[in-house]
Amino acid sequence: MLSITNLHAGISGKEILKGISLSIRAGEVHAIMGPNGSGKSTLASVLAGRETFEVSEGTVLYQGTNLLDLSPEERAREGLFLAFQYPVEIPGVSNMYFLKTALNAIRKHRGEEELDAVEFLALVKKKSKLVEMDQSLLNRPVNEGFSGGEKKRNEIFQMAVLDPKLALLDETDSGLDIDALRIVAEGVNKLRGKENAIVLVTHYQRLLNYIVPDFVHVLQEGRIVKSGGKELALLLEERGYDWIKEETESVGSA
């Protein structure tokens, strides 16, 4: 579904991603872990089409097409979804209006009928129940004055409504209370299927108890320095990241 090869990207001449290669097939869940500032969000932003980052090298194939050629909105319409680490507040734009516009843009692209107000409302009702999203948040401006946890929940709610093929969740678990974490995880698990793939960026093994990944990758200083199965996450929880650094350095110098 997604195939990243030797991806280099940065901002104003500073390289942040230094050669990332990663393959994700439909039906898989990948977890990306790594220290602060290692480039996890940058990777997610580049995949979503954030123009502030320049890609200097490498390719990204998504469902057989060159992802880097597509605008952010085209990527979204092709089924890519990024749950932001820091969702932005948009005063004056109601959550509902925003989401309806987005959904209908995507449906139009897929050749589906646009939903009218009644159909949309029914869908929203169903999906907001799924992520136990407070109805009052729906009519408020996008993320404005939302608590940290409410913002994260809103991201998952949007994901549930837009029904993406490839979801990138950037630290969606941070700032969630225990109940919210379980709810978000359930939401993600419902999305999980043969046709979909999920990339979870997280610092905590805890989330991975709820959403069990097929692969865990460690991103350090712009490179994937280690990949493994779900047990790798437990190891990281126990031992931190330094040992990997030592391991790669000793491998490098050997």
Partner 1 sequence: MGQPNGRAAGKSRGGAVNRDRENMNAQEQTDWYEARFGRWESGMNGESKTPLHSLRKAAIGSFARTGFPSTREEEWRFTNVAPIARVPFVPAVSAEIPRLERRDVERFLFAGLTSHHLVFVNGRFLPEYSSLGELPDGVRIESLESALRRDQGEVLRHLARYAPPDQGAFPALNAAFIQDGAYLYLPDGAQIEEAVHLLFIAAGDADPLLLTPRNLIITGAGCRLSIVETYHAVRSSSYLTNVVSELLVGEGTVIEHDKVQAEHPHAYHVGTTQIVQHKASTVVSNSIAVGGSIVRNTVATLLAEEGSHCTLNGLSVATGNQLIDNHTTIDHATSNCTSFEMYKSILDGASRGVFNGKIFVRKDAQKTDAKQTNKTLLLSDDATIDTKPQLEIFADDVKCTHGATVGQLDDEQVFYLRSRGIDEVDARDLLTFAFAGDVVSKVHVEPLRDRLDVLLHERLRQGRVTGIE
Ligand X SMILES: Nc1ncnc2c1ncn2[C@@H]1O[C@H](COP(=O)(O)OP(=O)(O)OP(=O)(O)O)[C@@H](O)[C@H]1O
Contact residues: ligand X, CB under 6 A: 11, 16, 34, 36-42, 52, 85
Quick one: tokens of 80?
A: 């890519």
Q: Which does 92 bind (CB under 5 to 8 A by kind): Mg ion, partner 1, ligand X, none?
A: partner 1
Cα 220 versus chain centre, distance: 18
Residue 6 Cβ vs ligand X, minimum distance, rounded to whole Å? 18
**Residue 9: CB minimum distance to partner 1, A:** 16
- Burial track 207-227 (b if 16+ CB lie within 10 A, e otherwise): bbeebebebbbbbbebbbbbe
Residue 45 sits in the site that holds Mg ion (CB under 5 A):
no
Helix or strand run (H / E) with residue 102: helix 95-109
Q: Note whether 85 binds Mg ion by CB under 5 A.
A: yes
Report how far residue 251's alpha carbon sits from residue 92's, in angstroms, rounded to the nearest whole number. Answer: 54
Sheet holding 54-62, edge to edge: 14-24, 2-11, 54-62, 65-66
Tokens, residue 34: 């790594």
Are 218 and 34 in contact by the 8 Å Cβ rule? The answer is yes
Q: Segment 24-43, which members bind Mg ion (CB under 5 A)?
A: 40-41
Contact partner at residue 106 from Mg ion, partner 1, ligand X, none, CB < 5 to 8 Å by partner kind: partner 1
Residue 192: name its binding partner from Mg ion, ligand X, partner 1, none (Cβ under 5 to 8 Å by kind): none
Give yes or no for a contact between 20 and 58, defined as CB atoms under 8 angstroms apart.
yes
State in Å, rounded, how far the first CA of the chain is from the last one: 36
Task: Report in angstroms how near the CB of residue 86 gets to partner 1 at its nearest.
Answer: 9
Given partner 1, Mg ion, ligand X, none, residue 16, with its beta carbon under 5 to 8 Å by kind, binds ligand X
- Least spacing, CB of residue 71 vs ligand X, in Å: 19
- Residue 73 binds which entry of Mg ion, ligand X, partner 1, none, CB below 5-8 Å type-dependent: partner 1
- State in angstroms the smallest separation of the CB of 39 from ligand X: 4
Nearest to partner 1 of 131, 232 (CB atom): 131
Chain contacts with Mg ion (rule: CB under 5 A) = 40-41, 85
